[in-house]
Structure 1
Amino acid sequence: MIHVTPSIVLDEAEISESFVRASGPGGQNVNKVSTAVELRFDAARSPALSEAVFHRLAALAGRRMTQDGVVVIEAQRFRSREQNRADALERLVALIRQAAVAQKPRRPTRPTLSSKVRRLEGKTRRATVKKLRGAARLED
């Protein structure tokens, strides 16, 4: 069991891992050993996530979520398989934690009188500067 938040607990069976060859530095080792991790979590069918959390997760995950609702996280930062595994799991948990927090709805507010006055004074000052830029007129 993976504890994400007090209310969200993921079953380890919901997460599948596959190991692939990593790109980048590593010498001959990188060509022989599959150390990169591709972690898959089926968020659409997970009983641990509510509908609201799933929709926020989909928005946060972006291209990391497939059309079927599967979150795919690739980790190849480290040279060892265990570190990449832990990194991928940590990133998934952080993503779900972030999705679990609902944003507070914005309450519309009105501008204060002083802010209105400041804005209008700035507009007047700017208009005066622009008016003075005009071509000099000949007085008759």
Structure 2
Amino acid sequence: MATFEPDSSLRARMDLLRIVDSDLEETFVLGSGPGGQKINKTSSCVSLRHLPSSIEIQCQEGRSQAHNRILARIRLCDKLEDAKREQERSAARERALVRFQKRRRSKAMKAKILDLKRQRSEKKARRSRVND
């Protein structure tokens, strides 16, 4: 079997995401779907699993196994980048929430809150029965 080496841009992307080939579990399965007898007999469908994150990718877009291996790795990089981006967004959201909660109210804001409380109190007091 020929050795497989992804192109340099994909390799750089995988290095940036810290994806090591030893972390990948790659299996080849029979293809399915339209394409007739040939697709049902060749193992061109690639099933790729990233062990640390448990992300599993299946790819059978291309006609050759080598092309599908590259496409599966590209999709894996996309999914890991999306997960990383979402994690960063979540952390930023959490930091903003803590910062908002710790912020002190200004004097004008305190005065406005007290005024609204006073108005609410007067409104409720007007609801009571009139003593004649």
**TM-score between both structures, scaled by the size of structure 1:** 0.51
Q: Which residue type is aligned with residue 105 of structure 1?
A: R
**Structure 1 residues 72, 25: CA separation in 2 closer, same or farther (over 3 Å shift)?**
same
Cα root mean square deviation, aligned = 2.6
Q: Which residue type is aligned with residue 36 of structure 2?
A: G
* 2:71 paired with 1:87: yes
Shift in Å, 1:24? 1.2
| Separation in 2, partners of 1:6, 1:77 | 25
User: Who is 2:83 aligned against?
Assistant: 99
| Separation in 1, partners of 2:41, 2:75 | 26
User: Who is 1:78 aligned against?
Assistant: 62
| Separation in 2, partners of 1:6, 1:71 | 17
* 2:20 paired with 1:36: no
Structure 1: runs of 5 or more not aligned: 45-69, 110-140
Secondary structure of 1:39's aligned partner: strand
| Separation in 1, partners of 2:14, 2:38 | 38
String of CA shifts for 1:19-55, please: whole Å, max 9, x gaps: 00111122221122111010011125xxxxxxxxxxx
Aligned residues: 84
**Structure 1 residues 2, 12: CA separation in 2 closer, same or farther (over 3 Å shift)?**
farther
User: Who is 1:118 aligned against?
Assistant: none
Matches within 5 A, 1:2-21: 2-4=11-13, 8-21=17-30
Secondary structure of 1:25's aligned partner: coil
**TM-score between both structures, scaled by the size of structure 2:** 0.53
Structure 2: runs of 5 or more not aligned: 1-9, 101-132
Identity of aligned residues (%): 30
Shift in Å, 1:2? 4.1
